[in-house]
A and B are shown apart, each in its own frame.
Chain A
Amino acid sequence: GIQVEQSPPDLILQEGANSTLRCNFSDSVNNLQWFHQNPWGQLINLFYIPSGTKQNGRLSATTVATERYSLLYISSSQTTDSGVYFCAVGLWETSGSRLTFGEGTQLTVNP
């Protein structure tokens, strides 16, 4: 199956700093999602981005499918950005709708 690797595993920032989270995957995908898991466990959809670039407020994401990676950018970080960020990928033709999750990046934003 597809292998998903996220880096860094842990990231500590001061409020206001910018950061880049990376997601590498081992095979072709046509489904890629970024999530933020808040302290209560809820997964919040950030981006559905199998290719290209998207922006939503302070967050943006880029997926370069041909090179098998995706990046999540967080600008002007706030304490509420703290939590775990997951990347999940899938390939419809071989796995149907199933998503494979990376191990996540634990982000801590200090005031």
Chain B
Amino acid sequence: GAVVSQHPSWVICKSGTSVKIECRSLDFQATTMFWYRQFPKQSLMLMATSNEGSKATYEQGVEKDKFLINHASLTLSTLTVTSAHPEDSSFYICSAKGGAGPYEQYFGPGTRLTVT
């Protein structure tokens, strides 16, 4: 099956600093990548959708200036949490799919962010 990696697996940062999370599709070209956020004991909430070479589309209520998404190539997307605050602490998960259509999405292992 298709493999998606994320780096780092976990990160602790101080309030006010920025953190970058990488998402890579290892064995396929991802035309579209997605970023989700998950709080403990809750479901996944879609934050944004990005297509290679285009600006990301953010879901309602997600601050695009706080959560910067770059999809620079067909195998790499990055999420940068800028000026992080403790309420940004969460589990961030990316997914990716190839092709243009309602195809299967494959998920990364997630990144646990703790802001102190």
Residues of A bordering B, CB below 8 Å: 30-31, 33, 35, 40-43, 45, 48, 50, 86, 88, 90-92, 96-104
In the bound complex, CA of A33 to CA of B101 (Å) = 14
Interface residues of B in 45-61 (CB under 8 A from A): 45-46, 49
A residues less than 8 Å from B101 (CB atoms): 92, 97
12 A-B pairs in the complex with CB atoms less than 8 angstroms apart:
A31-B103, A41-B112, A43-B93, A45-B107, A48-B104, A86-B44, A91-B102, A99-B46, A99-B105, A100-B46, A101-B43, A101-B44
Q: Tell me whether A92 and B43 are in contact (CB under 8 A).
A: no
Q: Tell me whether A97 and B93 are in contact (CB under 8 A).
A: no
Q: Tell me whether B1 and A45 are in contact (CB under 8 A).
A: yes
Q: Tell me whether B34 and A98 are in contact (CB under 8 A).
A: yes
A35 → chain B, closest Cβ, in Å? Answer: 7
A108 → chain B, closest Cβ, in Å? Answer: 14
Beyond A96-B49, A98-B46, 20 additional contacts (C-beta under 8 Å) are A30-B102, A31-B102, A33-B104, A33-B105, A40-B109, A41-B38, A43-B95, A45-B106, A45-B107, A48-B104, A50-B102, A90-B102, A92-B101, A97-B34, A97-B49, A97-B105, A100-B46, A101-B43, A101-B44, A103-B42
